[in-house]
Amino acid sequence: MQKLTVDLLKVEAKAFAEKESRHKEKSLYGVTDGKAVGTYLEHKFQEVLLRKYEYTRGSSAKGIDFPKLGVDVKVTSMRQPQSSCPFNSARQKIYGLGYSLLVFVYEKKDDRNTRTATLDIKHVIFVESSQTGDFQTTTGILKILDNKGNVDDLIAFMTERFLPVDDMQAQKLAEEILRTRPQVGYLTISNALQWRLQYSRVIAEAGKVDGVQRIV
């Protein structure tokens, strides 16, 4: 069996999206729960891959779907393109989640006559790990750095942005930022017990900026 790679994952995601967009599914007719739709799509995609490739499958305990490849799959509705992910540290807003995202954005259509649902996959986007930070946080920090900002400026910015850090963490993070310039992130990440990821900017920028690739 062939070993799964990130490039093969992208190829399979494109083929899967095109096929799934034409598929009529009885079990999803009338279903409005986005989580149920997401679970259905993720499981179906994994089934396709398991038949063809050898890879380590993720679990809730491992946190992401493809731990060896450093990729997590996200499925979201076109109406409100967002999902959640585990909170690890405030650093994720600045330097990214620590893994790449493969995002499927669908539009669900129910057919009353056949009592089936179709998931028309409008976008499949691959966001490199380095681009999974928060857009406003990263661009704000880069402006401070370009304006010869220091540790105090960075700590003040983190406080204004309500970054979930205490004084000591903020100090350490500010010092790291001065040593290692972050890249622009393209997610909108809201503070919560879990991060809330929003994808409107990713959809708009896919294919136009480095690290955000449009697959479909």
What is the predicted pLDDT for the residue at 191?
Answer: 82
Q: How are strands ordered across the β-sheet holding 188-190?
A: 82-86, 194-198, 188-190
Global pTM reads: 0.93
- d(Cα 103, Cα 77) in Å, to the nearest integer? 10
Structure token digits, residue 205: 């920028």
Task: Return the residue matching tokens 């731990």.
Answer: 67
What is the predicted pLDDT for the residue at 192?
Answer: 73
Mean pLDDT value of segment 32-40: 93
Query: What rounded mean pLDDT belongs to the chain?
Result: 94
What is the predicted pLDDT for the residue at 207?
Answer: 95
Structure token digits, residue 207: 């294919």
Q: Residues 144-197: pLDDT tens digits?
A: 999 999 999 999 999 999 999 999 999 999 999 999 999 999 999 998 768 899
Q: Is the dihedral of CA 200, 202, 207, 210 positive or negative?
A: positive
The answer to whether 4 and 49 have CB atoms below 8 angstroms apart is yes
Q: Residues 6-15: pLDDT tens digits?
A: 999 999 999 9
Mean pLDDT value of segment 124-131: 97
Percent of the chain predicted with pLDDT > 70: 98
- Whether 62 shows a pLDDT value over 70: the answer reads no
What is the predicted pLDDT for the residue at 214?
Answer: 96
How many CA within 13 A on the CB side of residue 216? 22
Task: Return the residue matching tokens 């009885």.
Answer: 26
- d(Cα 14, Cα 12) in Å, to the nearest integer? 5
- d(Cα 98, Cα 90) in Å, to the nearest integer? 12
- Whether 45 shows a pLDDT value over 70: the answer reads yes
Amino acid identity for residue 213 in this structure: Q
What is the length of the chain? 216
Q: Residues 49-59: pLDDT tens digits?
A: 999 999 998 86
Q: Residues 67-99: pLDDT tens digits?
A: 999 999 999 999 999 998 888 899 999 999 999
Mean pLDDT value of segment 44-50: 96
